[in-house]
Chain A
Amino acid sequence: MRLFVIVFLLMSLCPHAALLAADGAESPASQRSITDRSISIPEWKDWRRVFFLEDYNTRIVILGTTLLGMSAGMIGSFALLRKRALMGDALSHATLPGIALAFILATSLGMNGKTLPVLLSGAAISGLLGIASILLIRNLTRLKEDAALGIVLSVFFGAGVALLGIVQQMQTGHAAGLESFIYGKTASMVASDAWLIGSAGLTCMLISILLYKELTLLCFDEGFAHSRGFPVVLLDMILMGLVVVVTIIGLQAVGLILMISLLVIPPAAARFWTEKIFYLSLVATILGALSGMIGSAMSAIFPNLPSGAMIVLVATSMFLVSMIFGVPRGILIRKLRRYQLNRKVDRQHLLRSIYEYLEAHNMLTEKNTMEDKSVPIATLSRMRSWSPTKLHKIIQRAGQDDLIETDSGDQIRLTVPGLSEAARVVHEHRLWELYLITYADVASSKVDRDADAIEHVLEPEVISELEALLIQQASTEILPSPHTLEIKLENINSPDSHSRRPGS
């Protein structure tokens, strides 16, 4: 994290330093398109220019990257669920030899090698070849997916670089244009590029919406989809084809190395917000669109920030926010839930210990009033391996909820609601123990610990089901414990009284 902090500090400092060097020499706003590399602090009119899309070029770029982010987010969510997140990476590298070869062929045939359709068709062909090689390696050899990706990625890219080396020697060739495929030249996007991205991206989205059910099934249960007669291989190819198309239209915009991030990051971020695939693809689409929009807008306002990289960094910050704050799968919410569960478990253990102590000393009968049912705290800390401070905290919390009352410092007793809660907890514990003994063949001496692990997360329906299963006669009584409870009050002071009960 510190790296990020340093970097952002540096990033925020740099334009200022450069501004001083530039000596305030400003060019008229009308001449400043977003391809301009001069540095200045954005003024109000720059903000307005971007926000209200006054500049034609800005409009095109923002529209194009937004559409690209949308389609990549949607297609990427299926790829992510199919655990093909890095496929886009291998694929985008695999397009390079196709681009170079298409250029060489077209030029030697006397055509203009740099036209987008020529280069993109070359990219598509070698991208598909790359995917085919990945599938072949994975299915025909004993190598796994990761090795297949690594091999295809590096070998194809190596071939691409070798071919680019040749392109640079051609009299007609200026490889500079081809280089833009590697880093992306978002700012030089023209209307036809935006139209291409828009139409291809929307087509991809439309296809994935039409095949929504099939693709979902493919992602979650390939075997089931196969058995239900879905053409799994064909669907897989379609999904890969969609990834190919999205990657290729993105090459020009963000470059082949960053294209993968648009396919991976928005879906991975969306994963923290939802458990349902429909919402996942929806959120990923929105996040992708936002990163495209905000990223290219930022690069339009601050001309010194490269737009492809900015789009990725915006997506990354969204990912970080989602990872921390996402509901229901973010880190914070999971920590909170864990904390709450631990508190609940501790409280239930406390109540059960008190109850079992009372039960073992025959203090639950009618003639004992609530006042008589006090339990020494020292015994409780023996019954479970709690440290005194932890026990104290648990008791304090239970006291705040009026489940127990403290008597004279070293004795506690249950309140009336506390007693009924304790009875419920003990009942559930013993139900579960009984279930384990009856149905899971767990020895009665070991059942206590197994039940301990699961009783706290039982739903009320499960409880009633267990009751129906185990107690034939309708009974509201607390079950007797299926094993002997060892609560040795006498041995408290002896040094070797570690074992509280069997199995612990």
Chain B
Amino acid sequence: MNVLRDALSQWNWYLDGWIIVAGILCSVATALLGNFLVLRKMSMLGDAITHAILPGLAAAFFISDSRSSLPMFAGAVIAGILTALFTEWIRGFGKVDEGAAMGVVFTSLFALGLVMIVQAADHVDLDPGCVLYGAIELTPLDTVLIAGWKIPRVVAVLSIVLLINLLFVVCFLKELKLSSFDPALATTTGFNATLIHYTLMTLVAITAVASFETVGNILVVAMFVVPPAAAYMLTDRLGRMIVLSVILAIIAAITGHISAITVPHWFGYGSTSTAGMMAVTAGLLFVLAALLGPRHGILIIFIRRQFLSWKILAEDIIALMYRIEERDPDRKPDAGYLREILFSRSLPTSLTLRYLTNRGQITGTNGYYKLTETGRDQARQLVRSHRLWEHYLVEHAGMSTETIHRQAERLEHFTDRQLREKLNEDTLNTDQDPHGSPIPPEEFSD
């Protein structure tokens, strides 16, 4: 904590505050649009556009012969839109796969930009490095006077861009939603999906240009994709996804800057690139979301599968014990025998046996197990499901008696009482399965 305090002692509310504000504005503006890029499977477009801006900048310089912001901005935006157009053309006319078309277009434009910048290098200070990393740290130094306040130029520009994006997303949420999920339906219901598409592309280009100028293109690409992707792991609803992506973007911006100042201190270095660290923290947030997401998280899915497989193993064990009992009422199987028949491993088996004992479905003495009354009821229902399914598969699905066992094995675990009644009806109340074993009744009447 000492180190942290040392690092934060250099904290300057004026400098760091503006840097964080710029980071938040940029990441929120990009994340808003990024949601739709992720949903439309066009995540790489942000990357392509930010690379392809270079020739636009250079061309604007050649034509206007000045480094003033407006022509540069216009040139870059035009180059960005052209990237989307060229990609579309090459994909459409040339019948080239989308990824390859994008790769061809943006690398070519980037190379063109490099050549042009080298040509201009003697006359102008156009540093390609600035395009890549940005210089968010220099945000507070370049200010404009707005209504008597000295506000960094970047913050002013990004606020306008954020406002435009916000208006676009809020006003056209329904249209964006429909055209993202079903462009054909969108077109048939009367609004122009192509128009929406190109408006989105234009805004992506504008946002990318406005942001990369100061915060660099890595941050733009990262914020276009990463917070929306993380939000997509957390929810199934578009509205929530957008809100979540904005929240994640804000968190990434704040923690990104703080960690850019503090983390290198732990290893004895000074602060490092804020934009880079924002991308990294966004990445960490994504990893967390991907692991822990409530419905689609990797861990959650894994745990759910584990529980399911344990449940199935438990059910298999008692069903097996029921069958053993059915054949030879005095035989009491031990863990080894059960494992041998069920092909299960020893650790899950012993855990499951303990679980079943605790639930009072089986009792164990000296390593030999026996069903209790509740266990037997449960097992009878399982065996009944199994044999009813076997019967059903032979009678109604036309399967041969040799292959039905595995199918029935799978289905039995997902069969409740209602379904059993239905099966019983469909198999005409039979009391024998196709192998000749008796189908146990739902409940013993005694």
Could you say which residues of chain B place their CB within 8 Å of the CB of A369?
Answer: none
Binary B-proximity of A166-203 (CB < 8 A = 1, otherwise 0): 10011000000001001100000000000000000000
**Contact of A146 with B41 at beta-carbon distance under 8 Å, contacts A7-B112, A264-B107 already known:** yes
Is A155 in contact with B283, judged by CB distance below 8 angstroms? yes
CA distance A147 to B46 in the complex (A): 11
CA distance A329 to B97 in the complex (A): 14
**Contact of A137 with B99 at beta-carbon distance under 8 Å, contacts A18-B122, A258-B111, A261-B108 already known:** no
**Contact of A312 with B133 at beta-carbon distance under 8 Å, contacts A151-B225, A161-B273, A304-B119 already known:** no
* Interface size range of chain B in the complex: 35 or more
Could you say which residues of chain A place their CB within 8 Å of the CB of B270?
Answer: 169
- CB-CB contacts below 8 Å: B289-316 with A: 290, 296, 298
A83 at the interface (CB under 8 A from B): yes
Min CB distance A255 to B, Å, is 9
Is A261 in contact with B107, judged by CB distance below 8 angstroms? yes
**Contact of A3 with B82 at beta-carbon distance under 8 Å, contacts A83-B99, A85-B100, A150-B43 already known:** yes
**Contact of A149 with B44 at beta-carbon distance under 8 Å, contacts A11-B116, A158-B275, A304-B118 already known:** yes
Is B95 in contact with A155, judged by CB distance below 8 angstroms? no
Interface centre among A140, A161, A258, A265 (most CB of B within 10 A): A161
Say which residue of B38, B100, B233, B276 sits within 8 Å of A161 (CB atoms): B276
Is A147 in contact with B116, judged by CB distance below 8 angstroms? no
Is A154 in contact with B112, judged by CB distance below 8 angstroms? no
CA distance A323 to B101 in the complex (A): 11
Binary A-proximity of B121-156 (CB < 8 A = 1, otherwise 0): 010000011001100000000000000000000000
Is B112 in contact with A158, judged by CB distance below 8 angstroms? no
- CB-CB contacts below 8 Å: B52-109 with A: 55, 59, 62-63, 79, 82, 90, 93-97, 99-104, 107-108
Name the residue on B nearest A81 (C-beta): B97
**Contact of A150 with B46 at beta-carbon distance under 8 Å, contacts A10-B62, A257-B110 already known:** yes
A74 at the interface (CB under 8 A from B): no
Is A159 in contact with B93, judged by CB distance below 8 angstroms? no
Say which residue of B79, B100, B232, B279 sits within 8 Å of A268 (CB atoms): B100
CA distance A240 to B42 in the complex (A): 22
Min CB distance B260 to A, Å, is 7
CA distance A186 to B184 in the complex (A): 48
The A contact surface, by secondary structure, is helix
B269 at the interface (CB under 8 A from A): yes
Say which residue of B51, B103, B296 sits within 8 Å of A265 (CB atoms): B103
B286 at the interface (CB under 8 A from A): yes
- CB-CB contacts below 8 Å: A290-319 with B: 304-306, 308-313, 315-316, 319
Say which residue of B79, B219, B277, B290 sits within 8 Å of A141 (CB atoms): B290
A14 at the interface (CB under 8 A from B): yes
Is A257 in contact with B51, judged by CB distance below 8 angstroms? yes
B166 at the interface (CB under 8 A from A): no
Could you say which residues of chain A place their CB within 8 Å of the CB of B47?
Answer: 89, 150, 153-154
B21 at the interface (CB under 8 A from A): no
**Contact of A141 with B222 at beta-carbon distance under 8 Å, contacts A165-B272, A258-B107 already known:** no
CA distance A227 to B2 in the complex (A): 60
Say which residue of A89, A157, A182, A323 sits within 8 Å of B279 (CB atoms): A157
Interface centre among B41, B229, B232 (most CB of A within 10 A): B229
Could you say which residues of chain A place their CB within 8 Å of the CB of B248?
Answer: none
Is A144 in contact with B41, judged by CB distance below 8 angstroms? yes
Name the residue on B nearest A259 (C-beta): B107
CA distance A180 to B43 in the complex (A): 27
Say which residue of B79, B104, B122, B298 sits within 8 Å of A319 (CB atoms): B104
Could you say which residues of chain B place their CB within 8 Å of the CB of A146?
Answer: 41-44, 99
Is B104 in contact with A264, judged by CB distance below 8 angstroms? yes
B204 at the interface (CB under 8 A from A): no
B226 at the interface (CB under 8 A from A): yes
Name the residue on A nearest B134 (C-beta): A161
**Contact of A157 with B218 at beta-carbon distance under 8 Å, contacts A166-B272, A169-B269, A304-B119 already known:** yes
Min CB distance B49 to A, Å, is 12
**Contact of A265 with B225 at beta-carbon distance under 8 Å, contacts A155-B283, A169-B269 already known:** no
Is A183 in contact with B276, judged by CB distance below 8 angstroms? no
Is A261 in contact with B115, judged by CB distance below 8 angstroms? no
Name the residue on A nearest B267 (C-beta): A166
- CB-CB contacts below 8 Å: A121-166 with B: 137, 140-144, 146-147, 149-151, 153-155, 157-166
Could you say which residues of chain A place their CB within 8 Å of the CB of B116?
Answer: 7, 10-11
Is B298 in contact with A141, judged by CB distance below 8 angstroms? yes
Could you say which residues of chain B place their CB within 8 Å of the CB of A182?
Answer: 129, 132
Is B82 in contact with A310, judged by CB distance below 8 angstroms? no
Min CB distance B306 to A, Å, is 15
* Interface size range of chain A in the complex: 35 or more
Could you say which residues of chain B place their CB within 8 Å of the CB of A309?
Answer: 110-112, 114-115, 118
Could you say which residues of chain A place their CB within 8 Å of the CB of B93?
Answer: 323, 331
- CB-CB contacts below 8 Å: A1-34 with B: 3-4, 6-7, 10-11, 14, 18
**Contact of A86 with B108 at beta-carbon distance under 8 Å, contacts A14-B119, A147-B38, A308-B114 already known:** no
Binary A-proximity of B366-384 (CB < 8 A = 1, otherwise 0): 0000000000000000000
CA distance A206 to B63 in the complex (A): 49
CA distance A488 to B114 in the complex (A): 69
Binary B-proximity of A67-102 (CB < 8 A = 1, otherwise 0): 000000000000010011110110000000000000
B321 at the interface (CB under 8 A from A): no
Could you say which residues of chain B place their CB within 8 Å of the CB of A159?
Answer: 276, 279-280, 283
Is B298 in contact with A140, judged by CB distance below 8 angstroms? yes
Is A312 in contact with B108, judged by CB distance below 8 angstroms? yes
Say which residue of A83, A88, A144, A155 sits within 8 Å of B286 (CB atoms): A155
Min CB distance B216 to A, Å, is 8
**Contact of A154 with B108 at beta-carbon distance under 8 Å, contacts A85-B100, A143-B232 already known:** no
Could you say which residues of chain B place their CB within 8 Å of the CB of A83?
Answer: 97, 99
**Contact of A305 with B115 at beta-carbon distance under 8 Å, contacts A265-B103, A319-B104 already known:** yes
Is A260 in contact with B107, judged by CB distance below 8 angstroms? yes
Min CB distance B280 to A, Å, is 5
Is A158 in contact with B298, judged by CB distance below 8 angstroms? no
Name the residue on A nearest B229 (C-beta): A147
Interface centre among A155, A308, A310 (most CB of B within 10 A): A155
CA distance A375 to B93 in the complex (A): 41
Min CB distance A258 to B, Å, is 6
Is A323 in contact with B226, judged by CB distance below 8 angstroms? no
Is A3 in contact with B222, judged by CB distance below 8 angstroms? no
CA distance A84 to B99 in the complex (A): 8
Is A265 in contact with B221, judged by CB distance below 8 angstroms? no
**Contact of A308 with B111 at beta-carbon distance under 8 Å, contacts A150-B46, A158-B277, A160-B276 already known:** yes
Is B226 in contact with A155, judged by CB distance below 8 angstroms? yes
Min CB distance B312 to A, Å, is 22
Name the residue on A nearest B279 (C-beta): A158
B224 at the interface (CB under 8 A from A): yes
B20 at the interface (CB under 8 A from A): no
A271 at the interface (CB under 8 A from B): yes
CA distance A391 to B221 in the complex (A): 55
Interface centre among A137, A144, A158, A263 (most CB of B within 10 A): A158
A272 at the interface (CB under 8 A from B): yes
Is B279 in contact with A265, judged by CB distance below 8 angstroms? no
Name the residue on A nearest B122 (C-beta): A18
Could you say which residues of chain A place their CB within 8 Å of the CB of B226?
Answer: 150-151, 154-155
Could you say which residues of chain A place their CB within 8 Å of the CB of B101?
Answer: 268
B264 at the interface (CB under 8 A from A): yes
- CB-CB contacts below 8 Å: B232-291 with A: 232-233, 260, 264, 267, 269-273, 275-280, 282-283, 286, 290
CA distance A206 to B422 in the complex (A): 63
Beyond A150-B46, A158-B278, 7 additional contacts (C-beta under 8 Å) are A146-B99, A154-B279, A158-B218, A164-B273, A257-B110, A306-B118, A310-B111
Identify 21 residue pairs between A and B in the complex whose beta-carbon atoms are under 8 Å apart, listed by A's number. A4-B112, A14-B119, A18-B122, A89-B47, A143-B229, A144-B41, A146-B42, A155-B282, A157-B221, A158-B276, A159-B279, A160-B276, A162-B273, A165-B271, A258-B110, A264-B103, A304-B119, A305-B115, A306-B114, A309-B112, A309-B115
